Structure 1
Amino acid sequence: MNAPDFEPREIDVSRPSSARLYHYYLSGEAVFEVDRIFGEHLFEVFPFADAWAHHNRAFLRRAVKYLVGQDIRQFLDIGSGLPTVGNTHEISRRIAPDTRVVYVDNDLEAVNRADELLRQQDAMDITAVVEADLRRPEVILDHPETRRLIDFDQPVGLLTVSVWPFIPDADRPRELMARLRDRLPAGSYVALSHASMSEVDPELQQLAAEISDMYADTSDSLTMRDREDILALFDGFELVEPGLVYAADWRPEEPVNPDDQARPGNFAGVGYKP
């Protein structure tokens, strides 16, 4: 959005949203009381939600650093969520200050906060926030702010971190990813993570349906997928080593704890478009 055109809009406070809940798991801050109530209930069911969220965020940081190391200088971060410590533009610009970033989210609180942060950092020249939905990829790709900052003749770093679980099968996520992939030039990358309960402890697997049922009462229903379904989202990309693994295991910077019960609850990988 162009800075002078942006105006915060009304936010639905009657139901939790996935973006605000993720922020709660990461930071402990409940934006609204409804988020706190939901979050506390979820922690009763799945007490490792905060560890899961931090694994996911750490994967984002490592993936961005890797892509910058591959000379990626422009990022499209779809489902970026509420800004918190270690945002894409902050991570990338520590290494390459000229990196351009477009954040995309359909949650108005996320959009409002991201816009406020970018203004405070005086970063609107090479950073933007767009209110849009992954289910309409052409709206994202053809948005004036995307076109202002992203040169689709040069490789792009597409980030879809923990957004696909909120795209139900009825919306054909593989087709949506294909539409995004087909607009990326050769040499681009995608970083992707996806919650899954298919390989967690058998006792926790029984909670998958309960967690999904809980999210049905939020503004974003939750779809759990197994490894093969998540792998299918990488069709047309070449997986970068170590492939599709648990988020905590993707090029870790610290030793991985094999007893971490949150670890197998999230798959992640990075793909290259040849």
Structure 2
Amino acid sequence: MSDNDFPSRGIDASRPSAARMYRYYLSGQADCDTDRKFGERVHAAFPEITAWARHNRAFLGRAVDFMSGNGIEQFLDIGAGLPAPGSTHEVARTRLPGTRVVYVDNDTEAVSFGLDLLRETGTLDSTAFVDADLRCPDDIFDHSETRRLIDPDRPLGLLIVSVWPFVPDSDRPYRLMAQLRDRLPRGSYVAMSHAGPDEAPADIARGLTAAAELYKETADPLTLRRRDDFAAFYDGFELLDPGIVHAPEWRPTSPVEMADPARPCNFAAVGYKP
């Protein structure tokens, strides 16, 4: 086993997980009492969590639609989490029906649910859900399902949406991002987002920081980062307009509510590999 090998994580209903909690924020429906109680504590500390999650999900949809509009027909969605409306393959195929998508997660529950949904919808021929870890980039690209669906010589869309917060500095996330970048063909795009409190009003920033502290009790501790820290993930990429912005402000399709307290709590950007 190499230094980059991490075991997949089994289902543990006794502790909240990032995948289950994110779906809870989006839908308001908890999978178990543990998640509901934890979600109530997060909401008490950071009432903006529901709006934050929806901004994050909407950014993913706009980024995928943008890439599809620029001819991208294959996607690698790392840290995909539990299935929810507006998934990558659903958005992409509204423009390009032949789009191929590989979802990746290290959470056994997310992978199991994802595969079940793909079977039910009859989309396993062009969509896969891989049990792998962001901290093992080569394992992701060399997986048999990735090789089946992703042409390594053609540009692809890489999605790492609100996943880096769950990779601590001790796991050297910038080195991991460099490994991912080096495996991308020229002409590829990458969309990423990252929670950060430094540009939010003081009371909102305190709430977000308090929510991050609560995540120490979960299976997925959380690391908040500043704008400059987030920008470093784009080393070697060309940032597309409007650059690094707050998630609702990345190429919005409707007016942005600037007074929305959740707006400045999440950075987002799309980069291009020349």
**TM-score, with length taken from structure 2:** 0.95
For residues 209 and 80 of structure 2, the distance between their equivalents in structure 1, rounded to whole angstroms, comes to: 26
Counterpart of 1:94 in structure 2 is 94
Task: Please tell me the residue identity of whatever aligns with 1:144.
Answer: S
Counterpart of 2:158 in structure 1 is 158
Counterpart of 2:83 in structure 1 is 83
CA contact (8 A) 2:45 2:208 kept: no
Give the C-alpha shift of residue 75 in structure 1: 0.1
Give the C-alpha shift of residue 68 in structure 1: 0.4
CA contact (8 A) 2:10 2:109 kept: no
For residues 139 and 116 of structure 2, the distance between their equivalents in structure 1, rounded to whole angstroms, comes to: 23
Counterpart of 1:11 in structure 2 is 11
Task: Please tell me the residue identity of whatever aligns with 2:46.
Answer: F
For residues 19 and 25 of structure 2, the distance between their equivalents in structure 1, rounded to whole angstroms, comes to: 10
Q: Deviations over 1:166-215 (max 9, x none)?
A: 00011111110000000001000000000111111111222344222210
For residues 74 and 223 of structure 1, the distance between their equivalents in structure 2, rounded to whole angstroms, comes to: 30
User: What SS does the corresponding residue of 1:258 show, helix, strand or coil?
Assistant: coil
RMSD of the TM alignment (CA)? 1.0
Give the C-alpha shift of residue 11 in structure 1: 1.2
Give the C-alpha shift of residue 113 in structure 1: 1.3
For residues 10 and 135 of structure 1, the distance between their equivalents in structure 2, rounded to whole angstroms, comes to: 17
For residues 125 and 41 of structure 1, the distance between their equivalents in structure 2, rounded to whole angstroms, comes to: 41
Q: Given the alignment of the two structures, is residue 175 of structure 1 paired with residue 175 of structure 2, yes or no?
A: yes
Q: Deviations over 1:222-252 (max 9, x none)?
A: 0000000000000000001000100000000
Alignment of 1:132-151 (within 5 A): 132-151=132-151
For residues 207 and 115 of structure 1, the distance between their equivalents in structure 2, rounded to whole angstroms, comes to: 35
Give the C-alpha shift of residue 10 in structure 1: 5.3
How many residues align? The count is 266
User: What SS does the corresponding residue of 1:269 show, helix, strand or coil?
Assistant: strand
Task: Please tell me the residue identity of whatever aligns with 1:257.
Answer: E
Q: Given the alignment of the two structures, is residue 123 of structure 1 paired with residue 123 of structure 2, yes or no?
A: yes
Counterpart of 1:260 in structure 2 is 260
Give the C-alpha shift of residue 109 in structure 1: 1.7
For residues 30 and 106 of structure 2, the distance between their equivalents in structure 1, rounded to whole angstroms, comes to: 19
For residues 31 and 142 of structure 2, the distance between their equivalents in structure 1, rounded to whole angstroms, comes to: 31
User: What SS does the corresponding residue of 1:178 show, helix, strand or coil?
Assistant: helix
Q: Which runs of 5+ in 2 are unaligned?
A: 1-8
Report sequence identity in percent. Answer: 58
User: What SS does the corresponding residue of 2:91 show, helix, strand or coil?
Assistant: helix
User: What SS does the corresponding residue of 2:93 show, helix, strand or coil?
Assistant: helix
Q: Which runs of 5+ in 1 are unaligned?
A: 1-8
Task: Please tell me the residue identity of whatever aligns with 1:38.
Answer: F
Counterpart of 2:4 in structure 1 is none
For residues 150 and 213 of structure 1, the distance between their equivalents in structure 2, rounded to whole angstroms, comes to: 38
Counterpart of 1:5 in structure 2 is none
